[in-house]
Amino acid sequence: MSTLHEPGGRPSLGGERPRHAMKVEPYLFLGGVLFFVPVGLIYAWWSGGEPVGTVGIPVVGGLVGMIGGYLLLVSRRIDARPEDDPEALIAEGAGDQGVFSPWSWWPITIAFAAALVFLGLAIGWWLLYVGIALGVIGLVGWVFEFSRGQHAH
């Protein structure tokens, strides 16, 4: 934490996060429910009950509602993060943000497999099966990447 004596400093909070943490992610998704469900009902009335949009738009509202509900439950269980504090400094969020494989080619393999699967839907089913097989190989390779070779531990 910084002090008032540092450039751009503010009083230290003694390591505690303020109680007015934002945690905006759940409310962003739950706001989607308030948008998509009424829009779906309006669309159903306006289109005379066209089946795809009448069902699809409220389903999108339900899906963003599930994501918002999950994020709301998780946000209650975890401690406040530096990005939840509107008065936080950039330096408070420094440090490790996760574990990422720096030189991995497996995501490219999985992306190519997904492209083959979608191309197989348009061209022929045989290409879909090749894409699924390549996707399984790529996923297994990505999961077990750190279990072999130079990065084994």
Chain segment 106-142, per-residue pLDDT in tens = 999 999 999 999 999 999 999 999 999 999 999 999 8
Query: What b/e string do you get for 75-102 counting C-beta neighbours within 10 Å, with b at 16 or more?
Result: beeeebeeebbeebeeeeeeeeeeeeee
Q: State pLDDT tens for residues 51-90.
A: 999 999 999 999 999 999 999 998 888 877 777 777 888 8
CB atoms under 10 Å from CB of 10, counted, come to 13
**pLDDT score recorded for residue 117:** 96
Query: Does the structure show a pLDDT above 80 at 4?
Result: no
Exposed, middle or buried, 142 (CB in 10 Å: 0-12/13-18/19+)?
middle
Cα 77 to Cα 71, 73, 87, 92, distances in angstroms: 10, 7, 22, 21
**pLDDT score recorded for residue 103:** 83
* Domain regions of the chain by residue span: 24-79, 106-151
Exposed, middle or buried, 112 (CB in 10 Å: 0-12/13-18/19+)?
middle
Q: Which residue type occupies 35?
A: F
What is the percentage of the chain residues whose pLDDT exceeds 90? Answer: 53
Q: What is the CA radius of gyration of the chain?
A: 23
Residue listed under structure tokens 């993060």 = 81
Which letter does DSSP use for residue 17 in this model?
Answer: P
